């Protein structure tokens, strides 16, 4: 297992220093979300995503012996506004071209909501919402195939693809080797199912194990009837099901920590490494 971090969770600094800090903290890969990494939109808008920019970032990662696990492009592919959806798809295509030169493991995305605000509503769980997301995703995956890039969707309890069954429907509908899964176990949980988290995670692994390309690792606490994401080791998460699966089936997979801070990142990494060793028998 190659443990990484979201780059925007690292100590705020120029990109060159961020990567050096991440390497010194013992991480081997990172998740890039350009819009969160840089406050100035010129670094994440379509005109910026040139081959030269991609090669520059790639060179910095190579100098620090770090992989780019995920290039995040978290936009709403179920947006009901046709013109905005076209703009969103164009942004995905630009990120796919960028990733093809960058050498990112996957272009990652969540699965949207059937409204322009990208906010949860009961209709997220409708058949119509799922069909809209598949329609929005399909041409993006087709473009990824032509570019030799993997697109990975991340199921989230409050998005359209909220469980393993919906994820399987998407995979079966599009049927592309360039469409994979990012498994974030905590994102599959909400207040209604978190007490059954082991079963929820096991079902997701059983259903999606072959297509899981990247893992996100974080923790959660229950606050005011809601789940709040926190760094690994800061909440109620039991990682046994997830780490056992990785040890058995996913050698060297990119596993990026989320919701850490510069002060807690190393402790979270060391916690996961220690627990993982139990399942590897080392």
Please write the tens of the pLDDT for every residue from 104-116: 999 999 999 999 9
For residue 130, the model assigns a pLDDT of 98
HSE-CB at 183 with a 13 A cutoff on CA atoms is 29
Q: Is 122 exposed, middle or buried (CB count within 10 Å of its CB: 0-12, 13-18, 19+)?
A: exposed
Mean pLDDT of the residues in the chain: 96
**CATH code at 2-280:** 3.20.20.150
> What was the pLDDT predicted at 282?
65
Comparing CA positions, the residue from 141, 62, 140, 144 lying closest to residue 99 is 144
**Count of beta carbons in the 10 Å neighbourhood of residue 277:** 12
Question: Per-residue DSSP letters for 42-86?
Answer: GGTSGGG--HHHHHHHHHHHHHTT-EEEEEE----TT-S-HHHHH
Q: State the pLDDT at residue 129.
A: 98
Give CB contacts under 8 A, 24+ apart, made by 7-15: 7/31, 7/32, 7/33, 7/37, 8/33, 8/36, 8/37, 9/257, 9/258, 9/259, 9/260, 9/261, 9/262, 9/265, 10/262, 10/265, 11/262, 15/57, 15/60
Instruction: State residue 26's pLDDT score.
Output: 98
Task: Dump pLDDT digits (tens) for 219-265.
Answer: 999 999 899 999 999 999 999 999 999 999 999 999 999 999 999 99
Distance CA 23, CA 40 (A): 25
DSSP 3-state of 261 = coil
């Amino acid at each position: 297992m190659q443990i990484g971090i979201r780059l925007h969770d690292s100590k705020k600094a120029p990109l060159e220093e961020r990567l050096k800090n991440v390497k010194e903290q013992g991480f081997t890969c990172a998740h890039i979300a350009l819009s969160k990494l840089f406050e100035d939109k010129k670094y994440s808008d379509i005109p910026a995503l040139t081959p030269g920019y991609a090669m520059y970032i790639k060179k910095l990662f190579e100098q620090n012996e770090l992989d780019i696990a995920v290039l995040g492009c978290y936009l709403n592919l179920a947006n009901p506004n046709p013109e905005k959806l076209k703009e969103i798809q164009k942004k995905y295509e630009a990120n796919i071209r960028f990733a093809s030169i960058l050498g990112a493991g996957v272009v990652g995305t969540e699965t949207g909501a059937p409204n322009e605000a990208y906010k949860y509503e009961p209709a997220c769980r409708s058949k119509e919402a799922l069909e809209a997301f598949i329609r929005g995703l399909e041409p993006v995956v087709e473009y990824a195939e032509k570019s030799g890039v993997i697109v990975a969707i991340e199921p989230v309890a409050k998005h359209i693809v909220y469980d393993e069954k919906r994820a399987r429907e998407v995979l079966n509908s599009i049927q592309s080797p360039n469409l994979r899964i990012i498994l974030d176990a905590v994102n599959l949980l909400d207040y209604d199912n978190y007490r059954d988290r082991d079963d929820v995670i096991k079902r997701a692994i059983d259903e999606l194990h072959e297509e899981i390309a990247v893992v996100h690792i974080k923790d959660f606490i229950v606050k005011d009837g809601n789940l709040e994401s926190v760094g690994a080791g800061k909440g109620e998460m039991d990682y046994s099901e997830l780490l056992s699966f990785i040890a058995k089936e996913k050698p060297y997979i990119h596993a990026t920590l989320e919701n850490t801070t510069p002060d807690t990142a190393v402790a979270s990494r060391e916690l996961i490494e220690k627990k993982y060793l139990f399942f590897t028998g080392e």
